Amino acid sequence: MKRLEEYNLERQSGLVQQFLLLGFGTEQSALKASYDVKLIGEEDLTGESAAVLELIPKQPEISSQLSKVQLWVSEDSWVPVQQQFTQPGGDYLVARYKDTKVNRNVPSSTFHIEAGSNVERVKKN
């Protein structure tokens, strides 16, 4: 296809933060303000014990796109080791993390995708 699509997510910044920052430095008060939070148990995940939280969005603009989030938090580091984002229709996305490093400086160039000169770059809103 040789096409790279770039999306401007500025108008969706609240939703983007829900996906990217959830559990990584999010304060308890912010979680409770945005979600109904429930501890649903503990699981051994990748060799370490993790507390499993279920988060149900309170805001209609979030719950229309995300019916719930399950968050597995390492009981050793208190950093997420897995997240499951479930859409209202039942589809879900699972993200797993390992060897997480907290508070590292990451240059913005890390997020730039180098595409060949024969690739069409299309900017979307």
- Residues near 61 by beta carbon (within 8 Å), at least 6 away in sequence: 14, 15
In the chain, where are the structural domains located? 3-120
Tell me if residue 74 falls in helix, strand or coil.
strand
pLDDT single digits (tens) 66-122: 899 999 999 988 888 999 999 999 999 898 888 777 777 888 888 788 888 888 888
- Whole-angstrom distance, CA of residue 56 vs CA of residue 113: 34
Output the six-digit token pair for 27.
């304060």
Express each pLDDT in 25-81 by its tens digit: 777 787 888 899 999 999 998 788 999 999 999 988 888 888 999 999 999 888 889
Cβ(35)–Cβ(68) below 8 Å: no
pTM tops 0.75: no
Cβ neighbours of residue 86 closer than 8 Å, sequence gap 6 or more? 66, 67, 68, 69, 70, 92
